[in-house]
Structures are given as structure tokens and as C-alpha cells.
Amino acid sequence: MALYLGFDCSTQSLTAAVVEADAQRPGEWRSVFESALSFDEALPAFGAEHGVLPHDDPRVSQAPPAMWAAALDLMMARVAKSGIDLRAIAGISGGAQQHGSVYLNGQAPAMLQSMDPARPAGELASGMLSRGVSPLWMDASAGDEAHEIEQALGGAEPLARRTGSRAFARFTAAQIRRFWKQEPGAYARTSRVHLVSSFLASLLAGASAPLDPGDASGMNLMDLVERRWYPPAVDATAPHLLAKLPPIVAASAVIGTLAPYWRARHGFPAAPLMVWTGDNQASLVGSGLVEEGQVGISLGTSDTIFGPIREPRVDASGTGHVYGAPTGAFMALTCFANGSLARERVRDTFGLDWPGFTALLRSTPPGNHGRMLLPWFEPEITPRVAVPGVVRDGLAEDDAAGHVRGIVEAQMMAMARHSAWMGVRPLEIRATGGASGNAAVLQVMADVFGARVFRSARSNTTAPGAALCAFRGAAAESGADVPWREIARGSRPVDTPVEPDPAAHAVYRDLMTRHARLEGQALARRV
């Protein structure tokens, strides 16, 4: 049976998954290999902490693109040595953290074509850059630039209607504009602005790779419905930008074959390469969410709530996004920056390990005896909080149990409230990401939403999702239109769901009004 290789280049790690699949029986795909490497542990020389370079300004969040290239090299070596039959690889794709931008210099096209297999990919990649760092999705420093772009487009609403989102500081347009304003010379020397996804795809292809509509829709630069660059937004961002942007091709399209570099260096065959996408897009199909009404929650570095939608709807409250989806339709998503790192902050502040954290969560009742917490340890995306700071209501600073329940309840209530715009009242939620393995956390999720929660069969759904995009792309290339609905049957959750407790749900329905009030007051104090 054919094999498909998928990557997930997330904030803190690179994961690879190999999926075995057959177009005749698409629902019977299975994962035959999975491996993850943490950037901090595997590549300490880059100096990243949790995948991010330390910076004095808490709003700045950057990483070295050469670190991702080095990780790809290490992971390709691991896959090559894993014992899987490399000759059976019939497609390669990936999903990467969204919004982050990689700036290539004028020599990059020639360098991509002639990568020397004797030299590590990280070293080769550093020679291709016009900017040594990449601003990440966690970066909150480009607020002014986001505002300038919105102004030029006639306000937040018209921009959101065209591109799927109002201007966000972390979105690529605001970040490109900031780079142009701060380093005009380096911007002028930039021949191509890639996203993390198309940068890694370019290294694999040995040529500048295109973007898919899913990841391109996280830039504030693409006309969401036309799936083309939107000239007024491009012009409002930076001069001569159109010529620096990659082309946009259909999701899962074949974009080339694996470059000679990887074949000579690690012994891979000349496998077809499919366009990469964003991590959330790959996770959507990896979780088997392909029809409107289905909802997923990913508890990763960022917490996201997302689901497929048929038509693009705009979030009037301005916090949500509409992105392209691998299915060719759309996905709604709301993103929270204070996800797993915030949970870890609470765990570490009170000297707990995860079992200790879970025990305290179980020892406290729904509603937390009225103690409440807004966990804005880092600048928050939803709602927009530029200057971080934790807000406590009735909660003593040394109350470990109150903080543990407080953070989980606050995260779930924020997700429930700020996703109302999606217009989907979920009866069932598919949970994925690291913390989805914690049944006590999932119980709070089920109780807040009043919905049953299924844990995804695997905690990483992005890498297998990317492998499935490669599978679908390969099938389409040979003339077979494999329905996503059929492929999704292979993602059925295996275990029994966590059921909501009606009494606890009633507690949270009341508490959400208080949560909204506390949030409103805290935001008003910050203006």
C-alpha cells in the first residue's frame, strides 16, 4: 500500500507522521510511523525557549527559520532510518504554525536549486535569508501596522469581509509592514516572503514553493472567496509586495518532486510533493472534521476552537477568523494565545507535576467556589490584550487549587463565549493537542459547552492530517476524486466520550455572565 509523509512544524516541535492509505478504501488509512522532536532539546544551539527566541520586549516573538530547516533535516534522517519502505512514499506534505513569515534574499532561488547534500539544511537555509528571524503567530508588536492597514482599507469590517479577518498584529501583512518600516534595506533585498509552510516546502522542493488558500488566508492579504491576492490589501502593506509573494495554488495540489538534496543526503525517492498548509487546516482534516456543524478544540501552545463552514461568515465581534480549508470550503477559528504555556505557568508556579495538577482540578467543584482568573500571562489574541497581566477575582495568589481550576474554567469559558459567532452550537466536540489526554480537563470542557467530548485517537492530528492532504492530492493527480467524508471515517475517535454533567453545565451558564463582566472590566481598565 502507498505511504504518505506529513509534517507538523509547530511552535515548539517538529512532528512527522507516515500514513498508509488506499484510494479504493480511503476510510481505512492508518498511521504507521510518528515521531516528534522538540526544538529546544534537539537544537539547543539556536537558543530558543519553547521554540521562541528570548526578547526584552514581551510583545516580540521570533524564531530562527534556520532552526526549522535543521529540524527538517534531522527528521528526514529519522524517517529514513525508521525502517519504513521509503520507495512506497507516494506523497509528502506538511502543516506549519500559521502567520509566521520567512524572508528570502535574491540568491535564494539559485541556492535552493543547488543545495549541497554534504551540508546540513540549517546551514544552507541561513545563507538564503534576508532576515535572520521570523516573526511568529505569538508576536503582538505590530498593532500599529495592523491599524494602519485597516485604515487604508476603510476599516476592520471591509477588510474582514474580503480577507476573512480584521487586521491582527500576528497576521503576516502587519508583520511585513513592520519589517518594511523598521528595516527598509533588508525588505528591499527580500526576493520572496514565505510563510513557515511554504518555506519548508521550498526546501523540500529545491525551488520556491507556492501557498495553499488555507495558510494564505492567515495573512490579511488574500481575497478569501477568489483565492487570489487582494491588491488593495497588498498595496496597503508594503511597496512592491505583490512580486515578493508566492503564487497561490489549490489545496493539496502537487507542486513538484523531492529535491535531489534529500535523495542524496537521506536516500529518499523522487516522491511527489504537495503544497503545505497551516497547522490548523491540517489538524481540521486530521481530526476528521469535514462537515459544517462539527467542532474541534486543540489544546496546544495556542488553544484553538475551529470547525468547517460552507460559506464564509464574518465575525462581527472581530475576534474570529475565516480561513480556507483543505476541503476547498472554509473553516472558522478563534485562537487563544494563553494555551499550554499558561497551564504550565500555573503548574510550575505551585511546584506541581501534571498528576498533581489533575488531582487539584478534581478536588475542586465546578464554579471554583466563585474564584475566577483571567490567565493573560502573555499578550492575548482573544480578547485582544496587548499588555499582559493575570486578573484574579476572589482568588488568593497562593491558592494552588483555585488557580488550577481557575485557569481551566477560564480557558473553556473564553472559548465558549468567543466562538458563539461561528453559529454552531456543538453537541459533540473533538479534542486534540497535548492537554486533550487529560480527562479532568475534558470534563470541564464538556460541562462548560454542555456537549460530549471525544478525544482524538491521536494527540497530534496535524502531521497525519498533512499526510492525508498528500494522499488526497496524489489521488486527484491520478484522476480520482476521493471524498473527504470517506477519508474522515478513518479519524473516528476510539474511546468513549466524556459526557457533560447537566448540573455543572447550569453552574457554568450562570458563571459565563460573570466571566464576560470580569473580562469587560479588565479590558476597560487597560485602555
Q: Which residues bind ligand XUL (CB under 6 A)?
A: 10-11, 97-99, 137, 170, 218, 278-280, 302, 304, 321, 333, 335
Burial 384-413 (b: 16+ CB within 10 A, else e): bbeebebbbbebeeebbbbbbbbbbbbbbb
Q: Dihedral sign, CA of 50, 51, 57, 58?
A: negative
DSSP per-residue string spanning 62-125: EE-HHHHHHHHHHHHHHHHTS-S-GGGEEEEEEEE-SS-EEEEETTHHHHHHT--TTS-HHHHH
The span from the CA of 348 to the CA of 356, in Å, is 11
Q: How far is the CB of 94 from ligand XUL (least distance, A)?
A: 13
Give the distance from CA 209 to its chain's centroid.
19
Least distance in angstroms from the C-beta of 55 to ligand XUL: 18
| Least distance between ligand XUL and beta carbon 168 (Å) | 8
Phi, psi values for residue 239, rounded to 5°: -65, 145
CB atoms within 10 A of CB 300: 26
The residue among 218 and 272 lying less far from ligand XUL, judged by its C-beta, is: 218
130 or 319: whose CB is closer to ligand XUL? 319
Nearest to 329 by CA among 220, 250, 396, 405: 250
Residue 453's nearest CA partner among 505, 418, 414, 407 is 505
Nearer to ligand XUL, 96 or 108 (CB): 96
Closest separation in Å from C-beta 315 to ligand XUL: 13
Q: Tell me if 124 sits within 8 A of 219, measured CB to CB.
A: no
Q: How far is the CB of 442 from ligand XUL (least distance, A)?
A: 20
User: Quick one: cell of 240?
Assistant: 512592491
Nearest to ligand XUL of 261, 330 (CB atom): 330
Q: Which is nearer to ligand XUL, 98 or 327 (CB)?
A: 98
Do the beta carbons of residue 97 and residue 133 sit within 8 Å? no
In the complex with ligand XUL, which residue's Cβ is closer, 76 or 136? Answer: 136
Least distance (Å) between residue 282 CB and ligand XUL: 10
- The values of phi and psi at residue 390, to 5°, are -80, 140
Between 218 and 493, CB nearer to ligand XUL = 218
Smallest gap from Cβ 146 to ligand XUL, in A, equals: 14
